[in-house]
Structure 1
Amino acid sequence: MGSRDLAGKGAIITGSSRGIGAATAQLIGARGAGVVVNYRAKAPRANKVVKGIEEAGGRAVAVQADLTESEGARALTDAAVENFGSLDLLVLNASGGMEADRGEDYALSLNRDAQVNMVKTAMPVMPRGAQIVFVTSHQAHFIHEVSTMDAYEPVARSKRAGEDALREMVPALDERGITLTVVSGDMIEGTITATLLNRAEPGAIEARREAAGKLYSVEEFAAEIAAMVGKEGLKQAHTELVGGAGDFLARSR
């Protein structure tokens, strides 16, 4: 894969002012894509990500958008087309629901409804050959077969609902020649979700580390997401289980 294989392409990475989204944005920017860095509230963090991409020779722009509001998706889509000429890659990384202050419907609103709305808004401007990547966790992907920590269950169920809703859109994506790829990872060391979970259930992360053998860092997981971007021969709606999911697969049989 050439180091500038995404030159001339436009990308949106939702929730990319920090963590996995920010690390993915850096990697995609380094491959030549123009990147829309999306943040909900923290402009300085997003601007820092943009600066990092630009310093590495890439192109990026920070755009404030709350994906749970309909105009949020429109703002991101418009920014990609206006700044970079096209929207060839949409990485659906933003997720949440552990926040106590956003109301009980927030997890479904963000993890399902906002994802579907983002795709519906983006699809009309995405060319044939474009790609949508939905980032999820093994805890969410396998929630129907394998139970998760109580504190995470509402988030896991809402993320699985989001994944299912996107899979239902495959016929529409097929018509437009757009590929959906699902990337599922385990708990990621150092993320806000892991921190909140460990606070809610002390020892939870340690237990996952033991069961999995290893938990990925933010940078390692971002590299796995980026490796799926533009990968040759990916089937429609392929699910990439990052770091294996042996204990989930064993328990879901």
Structure 2
Amino acid sequence: MGVLEGKTAVVTGSSRGIGAATAKILAGEGAAVVINYRQKAPRANKVVSEIEAAGGRAVAVGGDLTNADDVEALAQAAVEAFGSLDLLVLNASGGMESGLGEDYALRLNRDAQVAMLKAAAERMKPGSRVVFVTSHQAHFIDTVPTMDAYEPVARSKNAGEKALRELIPWLEEKGITFVVVSGDMIEGTITATLLDRAAPGAIEARREAAGKLYSVEEFAAEVAKMATADVETGHTEYVGGAGHFQG
């Protein structure tokens, strides 16, 4: 019996990268997992197939988190497919993509996170948990400057974390805990790729400063651990390289 046997998890932005890797780990621990994607259904279905092939349970649900109807549908899909919603991993983020509007980073990294948490919390029972995934560059943006190309994303994710933390008392009334996982730049993610394209050498410089950057799989394992970690609500788990930011 896995530690998440009988539980259902929604992992936003889980058709690839950290989200997909986290979903697979959670499924391996017994959770039924809702794989969320914005556009790439085949990629999400592949993640589902891999989870099922390993003996787990999963379903792919499309949805744009900046769309209120899609957010409600995603939360409800967990209940309809597996009977409950016990864990929400707020992994989806963005803002470096082109053609989605100047305010897209804030709409996705703050407004959509709050909407998704609220939709999920209304369906969660006491004992459930919400895990918000962020970066050191965002978490510490008020005290440590980041790369110019990443700053709009960092500021919007920081705004998102603050907005989510304001909901902790409301979540506590429902018996739901809230945990943040903050990581350094992650090797092989779309953000790292876009950042290196916008500022060539940025990832190599960060790698040298940190000594090591986590891989997608390594960071996903840390995110998955926080699904059941015995920590207080509001806890921030720092994964790799945080000393530079904490001074």
Q: Shorter-chain TM-score: which interval? A: over 0.9
Matches of 1:207 and 1:243 in 2, distance apart?
Answer: 15
Matches of 2:200 and 2:164 in 1, distance apart?
Answer: 33
2:239 pairs with 218, 242, 253, which one? 242
Matches of 1:204 and 1:228 in 2, distance apart?
Answer: 29
AA partner of residue 236 (structure 1)? T
Structure 2 residue 199 is matched with structure 1 residue 201: yes
1:40 pairs with 38, 41, 45, which one? 38
* TM-score, reference length from structure 2: 0.99
1:162-241 matches, within 5 Å, as: 162-232=160-230, 234-241=231-238
AA partner of residue 198 (structure 2)? A
AA partner of residue 239 (structure 1)? T
CA-to-aligned-CA distance 1:22-73 (integer Å, 9 cap, x gap):
0000000111111000000000000000001101111000000000000111
Q: Which residue of 1 aligns with 2:78?
A: 80
Q: Which residue of 2 aligns with 1:4?
A: 2
Matches of 1:183 and 1:128 in 2, distance apart?
Answer: 21
Matches of 2:113 and 2:64 in 1, distance apart?
Answer: 11
Report how many residues are paired. Answer: 247
For structure 2, the residue ranges without an aligned partner over 5 or more in a row are: none
1:129-168 matches, within 5 Å, as: 129-168=127-166
AA partner of residue 230 (structure 1)? T
Q: Percent identity?
A: 70
Matches of 1:110 and 1:221 in 2, distance apart?
Answer: 22
Structure 2 residue 89 is matched with structure 1 residue 94: no
Report runs of 4+ in structure 1 exceeding 6 Å deviation: none
AA partner of residue 244 (structure 2)? D
Matches of 1:118 and 1:54 in 2, distance apart?
Answer: 26
Alpha-carbon offset, residue 75 of structure 1: 1.2
| 3-state SS, counterpart of residue 100 of structure 1 | coil
Q: Which residue of 2 aligns with 1:128?
A: 126
Deviates more, 1:176-185 or 1:241-250: 241-250
RMSD over aligned CA atoms reads: 0.7
| 3-state SS, counterpart of residue 182 of structure 1 | strand
Matches of 1:146 and 1:35 in 2, distance apart?
Answer: 36
AA partner of residue 193 (structure 2)? T
| 3-state SS, counterpart of residue 78 of structure 1 | helix
Matches of 1:30 and 1:140 in 2, distance apart?
Answer: 30
* TM-score, reference length from structure 1: 0.97
Matches of 1:146 and 1:76 in 2, distance apart?
Answer: 35
